[in-house]
Every structure is written in C-alpha cells, then in structure tokens.
Amino acid sequence: MEEDFKVIDNYLMVKMPEEIDHHKSSYISENADRFILRENVSNVVFDFEDTRFMDSSGIGILMGRYKKISCFGGKVFAINADHRIRRLLMLSGLHKIVEIME
Amino acid sequence: MNNEMKMEFDARSENESFARVAVAAFVSELDPTLEEISDIKTAVSEAVTNAIIHGYDGITDGKVTLYCRLEKDVIHIEVEDTGRGIPDVEQAMEPLFTTKPELNRSGMGFPFMEAFMDDLEVISGPGEGTRVLMKKKIGCTPWIGDGE
Ligand SMILES: Nc1ncnc2c1ncn2[C@@H]1O[C@H](COP(=O)(O)OP(=O)(O)O)[C@@H](O)[C@H]1O
Ligand SMILES: [Mg+2]
C-alpha cells in the first residue's frame, strides 16, 4: 500500500482506494502526514480514479491535510473525482479550499 | 411489497462496509438506480460510523443494531446504539460540527444523511444511546436529467 503514496517534486500524490470510509481513513491520513513531514512537500494531490465509494471520512482526510499544509502556503488538489465525489466535495464546501481538476 | 430485516453487530470499523453492503443488497428488490444505491450506502455508512466512533468511543464490544423495512417503494432504515448519546441533537446536526476534530472527522455525517435520504430523524439524549431513523423513496428520480 506504500506504493499509493508518491512524491514528485513538491507534490505528494495519494492514490485513493476503491472505498473510502472511517475504517480506511486513518491509514491514509497517517501515511500522508508521514510523507508530508519526511519529504517536506508542500502540496498534496488526491487521485480518486479508483474510488467507487466515499463517505464523510474522505472529506475529513482532505480537510485535515488542508489544515496541515495551508499555513505553509501548500495546496490540496483532487483529481479524477467522479460526479458523486464532486457532489460530496461541493456539499461540504471543500471546493472553496481544494482545487478540483479533471 | 413489504419486507423486513434486522441485524446486530459489534462496534468495529470493519463492519461499516458490511452494513452498507447488506442494506444495498436488501433494497435491490425495489430496483434502485446506481445513484440511489450510492446515496443509501453513504447514509448507512455515516450512521453506523457514528455509532462506532461517537456512541461507543472505540469500545468494540458495544452492539450496533441495523433494522430495515421495505414498505411499497420506500426503504426505512434504523441504526441504533446504546452508547453515550447526544446532549444537543440540533447542534450535532449542524454542518461541520464535530466533537472529534483530532480524529479527522469533518462534521458532515448528519448533513450527508440529510442530503441523501428523504427523511432523517435522530432520537438521543445523554446516556440514552442514539437512534437514527431514515427514509428514502425509491424510483422517484425525475426523468428530466439533473445535468449530472
Ligand atoms: N451515535 C452517536 N452517539 C454519540 N454522539 C454522536 C452520535 N452520532 C453523532 N454524534 C455527535 O454528533 C456529532 C456530529 O456527527 P457527524 O455529523 O456525523 O460528524 P462527525 O462524525 O464527523 O463528527 C459528532 O461529532 C458527535 O459529537
Ligand atoms: Mg459522522
């Protein structure tokens, strides 16, 4: 699962799993934080290409990482989010702080 | 058509996926769209997760009860725990309100249940456990596209 986290330049790329719920979320948050600290990256990109299910735990992952990196000028990106995930991001107002890209 | 099911499981996070898949399978006889199944799975996941992490606070021998009833084209879902209960339900249901920000909670659980189900009722009090009652009518999606 370590291969789901990759550092490219100043970006941490996180490949999100098929299902994102509370059971899966602490693993993702903890690892992302470990990489952010260790590799000293300022931006995080969450890739939802494989994700078929998400609940508010996914919102918590993005919000938590945003709080960690935004004070150092870092940004959070969401890529390959299908219309359902986009809807969750909109409903929680996350589209105002997370850049949603194709 | 009327149909009922009830189950009880331990307050373990592995059971979150089990619970939502069980409800999705149970409602399938109403021929829901993928969208409706997805809405229901998210709502069930929220309610069950709340019972596990807030109701029982990680104490895994607590029991979560899941009850579902199909009544014509409506699914009724109840998720119940006998845990700590909610002192102020109205406040708990506000978007972004969470008592566990350190656990990366977003405070969007109740707002998602509200957005994805037709009806949501929360019965709770301190020390009294929590009952979450949800309803959704299947097959009422407007046929004129909602623009995706
Ligand atoms: N079953 C429950 N037992 C006790 N408290 C609960 C329960 N469900 C929700 N709560 C309370 O309501 C708050 C809001 O819940 P929710 O909207 O799901 O957000 P989150 O789970 O992200 O905190 C929780 O932080 C918790 O304080
Ligand atoms: Mg919740």
pLDDT of residue B148: 44
The answer to whether the predicted template modeling score (pTM) of the entire model surpasses 0.90 is: yes
Question: Average of pLDDT values for B99-117?
Answer: 94
Q: Tell me, in angstroms, the distance from the centre of ligand 2 to residue A36's CA.
A: 26
Query: Which two three-digit tokens encode residue B108?
Result: 């969007």
Residues near ligand 1 (Cβ within 6 A): A 56; B 46, 50-51, 54-55, 81, 83-86, 92, 97-100, 105-110, 130
From the alpha carbon of B95, which atom of ligand 1 is closest?
17
Give CA–CA dist B116/B39, Å, rounded: 5
Query: Which two three-digit tokens encode residue A19?
Result: 């299902």
Which three-class secondary structure state does DSSP give residue B44? helix
B140 pLDDT band, cuts 50/70/90, is low
Query: Which two three-digit tokens encode residue B114?
Result: 């509200």
Q: What is the pLDDT of residues B39-63, one digit of tens each?
A: 999 999 999 999 999 999 989 899 9
Give CA–CA dist B75/B13, Å, rounded: 24
Q: What is the pLDDT of residues A10-49, one digit of tens each?
A: 999 999 999 999 999 999 999 999 999 998 899 999 999 9
B40: closest CA among B106, B138, B131, B121? B138
Does the complex come out with an ipTM higher than 0.90? yes
Tell me how many domains chain A contains: 1
- Which member of B17, B96, B107 has the closest CB to residue A23? B17
pLDDT over threshold 50, residue B88: yes
CATH fold for domain B2-137: Heat Shock Protein 90 (3.30.565)
Give the residue numbers spanning the domain of A78. 2-101
pLDDT of residue B144: 54
Question: Average of pLDDT values for B13-32?
Answer: 97
Pairing of strands B74-81, B130-137: antiparallel
B40 exposure class (CB count in 10 Å sphere: 0-12, 13-18, 19+)? buried
pLDDT over threshold 50, residue B147: no
CA distance A53 to chain B (A): 8
Question: Average of pLDDT values for B118-122?
Answer: 98
